[in-house]
Every structure is written in structure tokens, then in C-alpha cells.
Amino acid sequence: MLSVDQSSQKPVSNTDISALLDFWTPLLTRLCVERGVFDAYGDEWRYDDDVARSLEVNADVLRRIVRALSSRDVFEENAEGAHRLTPLGRVLIPGPGPLAGVSGFTSWDLHAWAEAEHTLLTGEAGFHHHYGTDYFTWLSDHKEAFAQFSEAMKQRTHNLLVSGISAYPWPSAGTVVDVGGGSGYLLSAVLRERPSLRGILFDLPAALADAEEYYESCGLTDRVTIAPGDVFDGVPPGAEIYVLASVLHDWSDDDATRILRTCRKSMTPSSTLVAYETVLGEGPESAMYYGLDLHLAILVNGRERTRPEWSSLFGRAGLRLTKVISTPGLSWLEAVLAE
């Protein structure tokens, strides 16, 4: 029998239990982000009925949502019955804040989560079980959803990269390929950091729909080539640097190894591959990635990885992990050809 150290047994409160079982707070929070509710309150005291009218939503339900989120310290009420966001609530106003890109509400994520039991039983993605196809194939067939996903990624990357780009020693010249570069935001940040570097934005065709317009707006068109393709088939050869930002965590070890092997084939002995990912269990923000790890399992059969897991993944693909540079966002994991 296991012996229990009585001194570690804290009394369990109803608040502790509710924190474990409550699923409505995150859903209502995401719903309010999606429908612009936090935006509508902004910094002002507002009457729920006025907000409901301006947003064209049901006033009774909005009042009840605000009451429920007040119990979670998101809103406060004054003597006249108006509400305003607390400092915690203000974090939820969309924009480049700590939650940018992660607070949306999409029906397809929820359908996948509804199949979490399937993931637990089989290890397979709940998304695939529900939709009969994988996440990125489905997004490619639903252009608006893909645009929404890419915009969320762009905001997330913007937020995570704040001090991250300058933490990596980018070469001063040559070509950087951003594999699975999505919106192209990260590549634009690298090119601004190194004015003589050229870039190739590589991603699925549907992910690149707005890339040309984006680089025009950044004045970077003449330094960027937009390259549609599938990373499992091959990536542009001979570049100095291959970047994979939040790409490998979308895949199982087997698929991530295939992706790295494809990149390896295109690398020269002087090429470097850098992944921008979390290193699970390291850094002050690590705890929140244990949840994201399961989100990835349910959506894409992906996973977050510890340092030994990263090292072994690169090793399986014939690469050697040479450096891990931690930033306040994610970490740069640098690898070169193993031999």
C-alpha cells in the first residue's frame, strides 16, 4: 500500500473543484473574444443592454454571460448596474496582448475536442475522427477557416517573437527558407533584422493566399520568393537556414522525422535548421504548454517535446541538435547535418 504524507494533504475547497471541472469559463471567454464583447466594453463602464444593441446579440443572454464572467473576476459592476472590464478582463481585448491569437473560438477545434475520448482510447487525433480527414487538408478545403487560422498564428507569432528574433544569430547574407511559414510574419521579421538576407516562404498553396499582398505591404516583395508546396515532398534546396516555427509540434514523431529528413535532403553541409518551439518542462511559462500538448494531440496528432525528445527527434532524421536559445516566447533549437 502507498503511504501518504499527511503534511502534504491540503483541504480541498469548492473553488479548487470548480477550477478542475469548469469548462464554461474558457468557452464563454472565447465566445466573447470572437463576438467582440470585450472590445465593446473597452475601458468604459457600459450597460449590458447598450452593448447587446451595438453588437446585435441577445440582451438577456449577454447579461447572463457578463454575470457569469463577473464571478470569474473578468467584469466588475457599479452602483448603477453598469459593467466594465477588470484588469484581468482587459487582457482579453483583442490586439497584441499576451493572449493574442490564442483566445479565438472555432467550431472545428470544439468538434475535435468533443472527440477527446477517441484520442484517449486510440492516440489518434479527435479532429480526424470527426471530420474524416486531417486538420491541414480540411483547412485547405475551407479557405475562410484557413485564413482565420493563419491570422491567429500571425498574432501568436507576433506576440511570441517580441524579443525572440534578435536572440538568434541570423547570417548576414544568403537565403532563409521559412518552412510552413504561414502568414509570412516571421520571415518578414528576420529580413528586417538582416537587410542583405533573402527569403523563401514555403507552405501549402492555400496557406499562401495573402502572402504576396502581405510582402507588398511590408516593402519586401523583391527579397521574398513565395513557394507553394508540401513539406513531405521536398523543400527548396541549398539555403543557409531552414526555419520551422511551430511546425514540428503539429506532427507525431514519425511524421516530424519525415519532415526533418526532407529538409535534410535539401541542406548543404553549411546549412543550419532552426526550429522555433517550446522546450517542455523548461522556462517559467512551461506549465501552459502541457495543455497545448493535448490540444495538439486532439487536433493534429502532434505533441510538445522535452529537450531529450527534441534531441532524439533530430537524431532520427540524421541531424544533430547543436544549440538551444531560450527566449521569453519560445526557444530556437538549432541543428546541423549529423555527419
Ligand X SMILES: C[S@@+](CC[C@H](N)C(=O)[O-])C[C@H]1O[C@@H](n2cnc3c(N)ncnc32)[C@H](O)[C@@H]1O
Name the residue with cell 511524421.
255
278 in contact with ligand X (CB under 6 A) = no
310 in contact with ligand X (CB under 6 A) = no
136 in contact with ligand X (CB under 6 A) = yes
> Quick one: 48 or 203, whose CB is closer to ligand X?
203
182 in contact with ligand X (CB under 6 A) = yes
Measured between alpha carbons, how far is 142 from 136 in angstroms, rounded to an integer? 10
User: In this chain, which of 200, 224, 231, 319 binds ligand X, going by CB under 6 A?
Assistant: 231
Report which DSSP code applies to 209.
T
Q: Point out the catalytic residue in the list 83, 128, 130, 249.
A: 249
The answer to whether 236 touches 208, Cβ cutoff 8 Å, is: no
Interacting residues with ligand X between 45 and 84 (CB under 6 A): none
> Quick one: 85 or 299, whose CB is closer to ligand X?
299
Q: 70: burial class by Cβ within 10 Å (0-12, 13-18, 19+)?
A: middle
Q: 325: burial class by Cβ within 10 Å (0-12, 13-18, 19+)?
A: middle
Interacting residues with ligand X between 233 and 262 (CB under 6 A): 245-247, 250
Phi, psi of 176 (to 5 degrees): -115, 130
x/- binding map, residues 186-215, to ligand X, per CB under 6 A? x----------------xx--x--------
Q: Which stretch binds ligand X (CB under 6 A): 22-30, 52-60, 125-133, 226-234?
A: 226-234
Interacting residues with ligand X between 139 and 158 (CB under 6 A): 153, 157
Tell me the closest approach of the beta carbon of residue 224 to ligand X, in angstroms.
15
Number of residues that bind ligand X (CB under 6 A): 17
Tell me the closest approach of the beta carbon of residue 175 to ligand X, in angstroms.
17
230 in contact with ligand X (CB under 6 A) = yes
298 in contact with ligand X (CB under 6 A) = no
Annotation marks residue 249 as catalytic: yes
The answer to whether 331 touches 284, Cβ cutoff 8 Å, is: no
- Within the chain, strands assigned E span 75-77, 83-85, 174-179, 197-203, 224-228, 241-245, 272-277, 319-326, 331-337
Q: 47: burial class by Cβ within 10 Å (0-12, 13-18, 19+)?
A: middle
Q: Which are the catalytic amino acids?
A: 249
Positions in the binding site for ligand X (CB under 6 A): 136, 153, 157, 180-182, 186, 203-204, 207, 230-232, 245-247, 250
